[in-house]
């Protein structure tokens, strides 16, 4: 800001105010004494300062002040927000696990849940959710989701029997029963590095089976033979507080995964245990927007996963990625001496679902929506 003094200044004032700093004047003792005792110089400096404030642009000051207030409000607002659903284990509410839980397992309580509802109005509900999202944010990047919702009935009914997701099919995604490890390299490597941590917490949990048939937090799944039990940390996009407190390090690990589905009903994370002699009925997953990751914790011989007719075996400490919208099954044909087959299962985003699409799908398929 440039200002002009209202009147002529004394020469000694100009010398002090405008002499370059790289060549400071050599002030004599007499000059300093003269300046110190000069009321005229003091008066001129005060007048100049007052005039510079008067000449300041009021509009600019107000604008800067408003921007500063907005910035402070934004920082406060962002700081108050808590990431969802991964919060500190210690902050999980004590009474939350009594709401909608049976044996510590979350069951959907909403009759209109898009993950569980199979009715003629589902597509209309999905389209309404998409429109609501677009009004709040943008239609940009929503072409494939819009196409999928508008023609969902045709996609699901005309799909070949080898791949037929039960709830939502996103068109134009590359399709294959199994994925290479590089599809989600960061998360695969992170899970494998923490193999011992997850295994240790599982072994602590599994000791409870010697005391009762089905300990708190475990869910028994229907199978034609044998036993298949699961211990969910995240079920259909909702964390299970009591279970998360029992596996705090594994739960915190989920928050470090870049592509974990944690904000919509297609996201799950659990420990899955197959006892010897168990066969899981062939079935389809709900959608093709995810890939399911199995980290082998205990993998005795005689265990197989078959996806789209292609068999694969688990390996301890290694991840196996597959698309569960394909017809798939698993079985454990080992003996009782072999022990159970145990994997840590987590749902990751399909690598070809764009970031804008992920945000929209989280909104459309939010738990309870």
* pLDDT one-digit tens code per residue, 64-111: 788 888 888 777 655 554 434 433 333 333 333 444 444 444 444 455
Residue whose C-alpha is closest to residue 145's, from 136, 160, 157, 155? 155
Question: Distance (Å, rounded) from C-alpha 248 to C-alpha 55?
Answer: 62
Judged against a pLDDT cut of 70, whether residue 136 lies above it is answered with yes
**Which tokens is 347 given?**
């749902």
pLDDT of res. 92: 35
Question: Distance (Å, rounded) from C-alpha 93 to C-alpha 188?
Answer: 30
**Which tokens is 48 given?**
């100049």
- Among 60-69, 234-243, 261-270, whose mean pLDDT is lowest? 60-69
Work out the angle at residue 137's Cα, subtended by the Cα atoms of residues 135 and 142, and round it to the nearest 5 degrees: 90
Residue whose C-alpha is closest to residue 5's, from 39, 42, 41, 44? 44
- Residue pointed to by tokens 């698309």: 323
List, in order, residues 6 or more apart from 131 with CB less than 8 Å away.
none
* pLDDT one-digit tens code per residue, 200-224: 999 999 888 766 678 889 999 999 9
Q: List the alpha helices (DSSP H) in the chain.
A: 11-18, 29-36, 39-54, 58-80, 122-136, 143-150, 152-158, 185-193, 195-206, 241-246, 248-254, 355-364
* pLDDT one-digit tens code per residue, 151-179: 887 777 777 789 999 899 999 999 999 99
The whole-model pTM stands at 0.71
**Cα(first)–Cα(last) distance of the chain, in Å?**
55
Work out the angle at residue 9's Cα, subtended by the Cα atoms of residues 8 and 14, and round it to the nearest 5 degrees: 130
List, in order, residues 6 or more apart from 93 with CB less than 8 Å away.
241
The bridge status of strand 310-312 relative to strand 278-279 is unpaired
- Residue pointed to by tokens 């749902």: 347
């Amino acid at each position: 800001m440039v200002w002009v003094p209202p009147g002529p200044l004394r020469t000694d004032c100009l010398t002090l105010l405008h002499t370059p700093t790289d060549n400071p004047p050599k002030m004599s003792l007499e000059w300093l004494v003269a300046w110190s005792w000069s009321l005229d110089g003091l008066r001129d400096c005060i007048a100049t300062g007052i005039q510079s404030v008067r000449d300041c642009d009021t509009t600019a000051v107000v604008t800067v002040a408003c921007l500063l207030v907005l910035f402070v409000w934004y920082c406060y607002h962002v700081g108050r927000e808590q990431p969802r659903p991964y919060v500190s284990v210690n902050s999980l509410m004590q009474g939350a696990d009594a709401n909608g839980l049976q044996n510590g397992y979350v069951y959907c309580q909403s009759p209109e849940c898009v993950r569980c509802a199979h009715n003629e109005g589902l597509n209309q509900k999905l389209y309404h959710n998409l429109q609501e999202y677009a009004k709040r944010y943008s239609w940009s990047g929503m072409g494939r989701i819009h196409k999928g919702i508008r023609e969902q009935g045709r996609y699901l009914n005309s799909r070949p029997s080898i791949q037929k997701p039960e709830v939502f099919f996103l068109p134009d995604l590359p399709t294959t029963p199994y994925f290479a490890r590089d599809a989600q390299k960061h998360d695969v490597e992170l899970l494998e590095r923490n193999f011992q941590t997850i295994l240790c917490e599982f072994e602590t949990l599994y000791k409870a089976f010697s005391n009762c048939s089905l300990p708190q937090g475990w869910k028994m799944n229907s199978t034609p033979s044998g036993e298949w039990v699961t211990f969910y940390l995240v079920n259909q996009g909702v964390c299970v507080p009591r279970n998360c407190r029992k596996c705090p390090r594994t739960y915190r690990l989920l928050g470090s995964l870049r592509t974990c589905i944690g904000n919509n009903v297609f996201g799950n994370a659990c420990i899955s245990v197959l006892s010897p002699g168990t066969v899981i009925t062939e079935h389809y997953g709900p959608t093709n927007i995810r890939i399911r990751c199995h980290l082998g914790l205990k993998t005795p011989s005689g265990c197989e996963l078959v996806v789209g007719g292609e068999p694969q075996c688990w390996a301890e400490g290694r991840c196996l990625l597959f698309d569960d919208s394909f017809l798939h099954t698993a079985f454990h044909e080992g003996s009782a001496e072999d022990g159970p087959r145990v994997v840590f299962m987590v749902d990751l985003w399909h690598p070809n679902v764009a970031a804008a699409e992920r945000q929209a799908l989280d909104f459309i398929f939010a738990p309870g929506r």
